[in-house]
Structure 1
Amino acid sequence: MKNRFPSRPIDGIEILKDSDQHTTNSDTLPDGLEALRRELSLSDVMGLIERTARWVDPTTFKYLPVWYPEHARRALFYKANWSEPQMNRNRQTGVSIHKSEGNVHANKALTLALGLRAGERPNWSCCHIWGVDDAFYQVSNAVVQDRRFFSCVANMVLLPTPLKAFTDVMTDVKMMLRVCALHLYGWSCDHDVVADIAGQVADWENWDAYPESWPKPGRTTLPLGTAKFSPRIKAAADRRKAAIRKDLTSAGPHYPREEVRKVLDYWNISL
């Protein structure tokens, strides 16, 4: 079929536009989010998240809000019971650098709080609900660099890995996750850098695309995919409490005792 809308290729490239072989010049390529919105509405996206997300039970959050208070994004790793730096050696250059935290212990916390093991969650990703909103990853994320919030299980949700991209770049999606966390756990991040956003979450009134199973004012519900507090989860939490208690007493010189105590005090955690 002859193209009804012929266009001159740029650098020899033409892009298939639809099944009728319409093409569009590469210089008219739309913003990726706009292209997605033409195919999926916000309600469609939230429906996918509602049906697939895995949430920590509020009872689990109350039992142990933060699972690894000694860790935070970019904090340094130590081995031999916190007595020696843990190094990463580049195989090509031979240069060694001090290894730092990415998302390892946030992932561990969420996995345990959901009653899972690492091998039981292939192609699932840990998503922090509260952080500094920056789709280009150019701003330091002070929220997850704070030990109070990095491994906080009310600040995380488990999503199929492809869906995590929505939470990284779509503001409305991030806001509705925060609204859900507020009404599910009775908690909203109080870090100074997100104070304005916390106010918007508290005043949220746009329920058009908000999932039906999620809690909101006047509706106390558990989201689909909530992992009920269980003996397995309690046992994992008890092991973490015992490990923290032991480390405060006997871990090596690099263990951040003062910072850990501040986290425990902030959350009123009794070991």
Structure 2
Amino acid sequence: MKALLYREFVWFKRYFPDYLGMWAIQLGFSIGVVFRPAYISGGQAYVLSRLKTLYGVEFTAGGLIAFSLTLSSLIGVVALIVGDVFSTLYYEFRIAETNLTVMEASSLADFLFYNALGRSSLLCFFATLYLLALLPLMKGLEGLFLYLAVLALLLPASIALGLLSSILALATITLTHVRRPWAIANLIPPILLASVGLYIPVELVPFLLRLVAYITPLPFVVEALQALLLFIGQPIILGYLTTLLVVYTLYLTVPIVLLRRAERWVRG
């Protein structure tokens, strides 16, 4: 675990300009979601009124930007974790062939679990780091607590996503002869993000598309994030958190069981 964490921090320092670019894209996208409709419709008041109709909550311009900024952080979380899992496992299994050493020294399932636990958690933190600067700047101390609450919601989801990505990557690497698995990895984040209702209530997402998202806990995470941002400090949030606790238990348990079965299959 220490070696995994050390490697991620080294890579973070080495590829810091890439993170700057990702944060800039997330920031630009979140602001574009707010101001582009206002520009097209002829005024920000129209956008605020439409959002009030959708969510039943009165928005201010600053509150809307904070809402959009926070939800946009999920773009980086999903893209980083899925891409990292596919590319790293492909390198370790097909190029470096360290999988043989791993299976001799320990359990493959444990190796993939600790990968998801350590690296996915760090990647979640790295992907949302820009919020640590922006939310306190916009909301003061409340913004800092909001960031910590958002991070606490996203961390278990990141681990679950890392586990599910590991299963899919392992199946792709061992069952197919794909030589560019990142081509598959690049397709997954847009499909997931389109199906979770990131900036709209999830009920407005077409049902068949929504079914794809329920392979992961992301729809529940988005609903909980939206509730946290819309009803911060209100008792209604407790219902979402209780549901999320049950969901996380399910989405963390099932992949671990599947990894155990996958290990027996890989070992033959």
Please classify the TM superposition score into its range, dividing by the shorter chain length. Answer: under 0.3
Larger radius of gyration: 1
TM-score, normalised with respect to structure 2: 0.24
Scaled by the length of structure 1, the TM-score of the pair is 0.24
More helix by share: 2
Q: Which has the higher contact order (CA 8 A, sep 6+)?
A: 1
